Amino acid sequence: MRAMRRVRRPTIVPDNRGYMIAGYIVAAALYGGYALWLWYRARKS
């Protein structure tokens, strides 16, 4: 009788690095842009 063996399947991790990079670029642009705008307005006034 063949022994039952539990086969551990490897976890397939999706390749979605591009989305991660896009998210971080957008956040950096938004926060950095707003901070620059505040700094520019403070200098102007």
Partner 1 sequence: MLAAMLLLPAVFIRALAFTPAEATQGEAQKIFYIHAPSAWVAFLAFGVVGICSVLYLVLKEPRLDRLAASSAEVGVIFTTAVLVTGPIWGRAIWGAWWTWDARLTSTLFLWFIYFGYQVLRSAVHEPGQRARFSAVLGILGALLVPFIHISVNLFRTLHPKPVVLKPEGPTLPGGMLATLLFAFVAFTIIYAAMLWQRYSRATLDDARDAARAEADDRA
Summarize as ranges the residues that interact with partner 1 (CB under 8 A).
11, 13-17, 19-20, 22-24, 26-28, 30-32, 34-35, 38-39, 41-42, 45
Q: Given the complex with partner 1, which of 2 and 22 has the nearer CB atom?
A: 22
Q: How near is the Cβ of 15 to partner 1 at its closest, in Å?
A: 7
| Per-residue tokens: 20 | 């991660």
Q: Given the complex with partner 1, which of 5 and 17 has the nearer CB atom?
A: 17
CA distances from 38 to 2, 41, 45 (A): 72, 5, 11
Distance CA 7, CA 36 (A): 55
